[in-house]
């Protein structure tokens, strides 16, 4: 008699062969993480208790078999809210060992790795943790401080402590950050492009309509699927629901966006109007930067607290270092920025500037090979979901 594992392997191989899903060669061995999600989805597809919880289950009911592209797609649709784990009668210690959030998290990191650009940098995801984040931030700060000492040399005592450009000339800053920013953006773009190519095979080749794009953006901006489908929030450490994960994520996300807008507005001021930093406290870049910095710092404290308290079965514990390394860099970026803004005229300003720039650089360098990838991959999966659910289901089941 065939074991469940053998049956799963055969079903996945069939799904891959029929749908020509895989961007990696079709005869590539199926990873254990893909097989595990596939096994669990076949059980969930018979049970369907969690149908209304999130986008994963309606997407699952459109399928009878789960090839690797289907699994990659579903894994990035999952928001790791934990609702299906806490509701499941087949969760460990039951012999079926159903733990959808954990299995999905393990596939998610494999998709980031598989679609990383350049490909050989994919392994960095597995090593990206708190120690790397700290070492990079400290190393880059020292490097920048040495560069500043070298540039300013004999003028060190006559520096204008209210003007950052007397420490690092504007052109030096641009030539340090622009290439890194361009590389990060391109590398994330390429990763998501490969990923979209893969999951389009599993969903549909139709381009997303304006309505689908708007709804996907709304899902991402409101984190619709981080609430278990009932609006009371997600699980964290136990069976109780909490909205705090969503709220702290909002503080983090929107705080980051405000800081980003502050830098963008400052760039426009500089190049379009010739207005040079530092800006007054009541200026737009300052208002955006200070409010964004406070929001980002508070969001990171909350997310870290919830992350450390999370139930051990919830998600993939081996990815905690990557999550925490990212939260640490975001927190350090916001707090060093805020300290810098309050340090004008102080002798600590040059060192704080090097620290802020060192941390920002460490954050940028690790962005495409760490937790930040979740934003781009999840948004891509949501766009495919909102496109697919508007098409007739090819197995005659309703889309929702």
Q: Which residues bind ligand SF4 (CB under 6 A)?
A: 43-44, 47-50, 53-54, 56, 78-84, 87-90, 98, 100-101, 104, 225
Instruction: Return the number of the residue (76 or 201) whose C-beta is nearest ligand SF4.
Output: 76
CA angle 6, 11, 13 (to 5 degrees): 95
Q: Which does 303 bind (CB under 5 to 8 A by kind): ligand SF4, ligand HEM, none?
A: ligand HEM
3-class secondary-structure state, position 21: coil
Q: Which does 340 bind (CB under 5 to 8 A by kind): ligand SF4, ligand HEM, none?
A: ligand HEM
Give the nearest residue (CB) to ligand HEM.
289
Q: Which does 129 bind (CB under 5 to 8 A by kind): ligand HEM, ligand SF4, none?
A: none
> Which one, of 320, 388, 374, lies nearest residue 108 by Cα?
374
Instruction: Return the number of the residue (14 or 268) whose C-beta is nearest ligand HEM.
Output: 268
Q: Which does 333 bind (CB under 5 to 8 A by kind): ligand HEM, ligand SF4, none?
A: ligand HEM
Cα gap 74→7, rounded to integer Å: 20
Binding site for ligand HEM (CB under 6 A): 79-80, 164, 173, 177, 220, 223, 226, 249, 252-253, 256, 259-260, 262-263, 277-279, 285-286, 289-290, 292-293, 303, 306-307, 323, 326-327, 330, 333-334, 337-338, 340-341, 356-357, 360, 371, 374-375, 378-379
Is there a contact between 223 and 77 (Cβ–Cβ < 8 Å)?
no
* Cβ-count burial 311-330 (b if 16+ within 10 Å, e if not): eeebbbeebebbbbbbbbbb
Q: Which does 368 bind (CB under 5 to 8 A by kind): ligand HEM, ligand SF4, none?
A: none
Is there a contact between 101 and 81 (Cβ–Cβ < 8 Å)?
yes
| Backbone φ and ψ of 242, nearest 5° | -140, 140
Instruction: Return the number of the residue (20 or 48) whose C-beta is nearest ligand SF4.
Output: 48
Q: Which does 311 bind (CB under 5 to 8 A by kind): ligand SF4, ligand HEM, none?
A: none
Burial environment of residue 2 by CB neighbours within 10 A (0 to 12, 13 to 18, 19 or more): exposed
Q: Which does 378 bind (CB under 5 to 8 A by kind): ligand SF4, ligand HEM, none?
A: ligand HEM
Instruction: Return the number of the residue (96 or 269) whose C-beta is nearest ligand HEM.
Output: 269
Cα gap 156→167, rounded to integer Å: 9
Instruction: Return the number of the residue (227 or 262) whose C-beta is nearest ligand SF4.
Output: 227
For 371, half-sphere exposure in the C-beta direction (CA atoms, 13 angstrom radius) is 18
Is there a contact between 112 and 372 (Cβ–Cβ < 8 Å)?
no
Q: How far is the CB of 166 from ligand SF4 (least distance, A)?
A: 50
Please identify which residue in the block is written with the tokens 């920048």. Answer: 144
Give residue 223's Cα distance to chain centre: 13
The tokens describing 219, both together, are 């899902």
Instruction: Return the number of the residue (79 or 86) whose C-beta is nearest ligand HEM.
Output: 79
Instruction: Return the number of the residue (53 or 164) whose C-beta is nearest ligand SF4.
Output: 53
Q: How far is the CB of 399 from ligand SF4 (least distance, A)?
A: 16
Q: Which does 78 bind (CB under 5 to 8 A by kind): ligand SF4, ligand HEM, none?
A: ligand SF4
Instruction: Return the number of the residue (44 or 329) whose C-beta is nearest ligand SF4.
Output: 44
Is there a contact between 78 and 100 (Cβ–Cβ < 8 Å)?
yes
Cα gap 350→148, rounded to integer Å: 8
């Amino acid at each position: 008699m065939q074991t469940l594992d053998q049956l799963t392997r055969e079903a996945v191989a069939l799904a891959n062969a029929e749908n020509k899903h895989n961007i990696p060669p079709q005869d590539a061995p199926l990873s254990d993480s893909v097989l595990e999600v596939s096994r669990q989805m076949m059980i969930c597809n018979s049970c369907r208790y969690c149908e209304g919880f999130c986008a994963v289950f309606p997407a699952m009911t459109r399928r009878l078999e789960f090839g690797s592209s289907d699994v990659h797609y579903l894994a990035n649709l999952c928001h790791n809210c934990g609702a299906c784990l806490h509701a499941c009668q087949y969760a460990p210690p039951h012999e079926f060992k159903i733990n959808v959030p954990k299995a999905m998290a393990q596939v998610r990191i494999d998709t980031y790795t598989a679609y990383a650009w350049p490909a050989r940098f994919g392994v960095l995801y597995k090593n990206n943790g708190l120690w790397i984040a700290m070492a990079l931030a400290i190393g880059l700060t020292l490097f920048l401080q040495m560069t500043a000492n070298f540039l300013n040399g004999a003028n060190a005592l006559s520096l204008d402590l209210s003007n950052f450009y007397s420490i690092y000339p504007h052109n030096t800053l641009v030539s340090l950050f622009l290439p890194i920013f361009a590389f990060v953006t391109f590398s994330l773009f390429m990763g998501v492009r490969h990923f979209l190519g893969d999951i389009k095979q599993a969903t549909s080749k139709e381009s997303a309509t304006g309505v689908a794009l708007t709804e996907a953006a709304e899902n991402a901006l409101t984190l619709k699927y981080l609430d278990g489908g009932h609006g009371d929030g997600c699980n964290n450490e136990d069976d109780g629901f909490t909205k705090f994960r969503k709220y702290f994520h909002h503080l983090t996300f929107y705080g980051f966006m405000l800081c980003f807008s502050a830098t963008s507005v400052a760039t426009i001021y500089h190049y379009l109007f010739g207005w040079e930093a530092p800006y007054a406290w009541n200026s737009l870049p300052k208002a955006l930067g200070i409010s964004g910095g406070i929001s980002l710092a508070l969001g990171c404290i909350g997310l870290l607290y919830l992350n450390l308290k999370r139930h051990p079965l919830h998600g993939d514990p081996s990815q905690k270092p990557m999550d925490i390394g990212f939260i640490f860099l975001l927190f350090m970026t916001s707090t060093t920025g805020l300290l810098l803004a309050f340090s004008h005229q102080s002798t600590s300003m040059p060192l704080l500037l090097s620290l802020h720039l060192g941390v920002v650089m460490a954050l940028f360098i690790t962005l495409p090979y760490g937790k930040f990838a979740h934003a781009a991959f999840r948004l891509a999966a949501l766009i495919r979901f909102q496109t697919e659910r508007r098409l007739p289901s090819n197995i005659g089941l309703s889309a929702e």
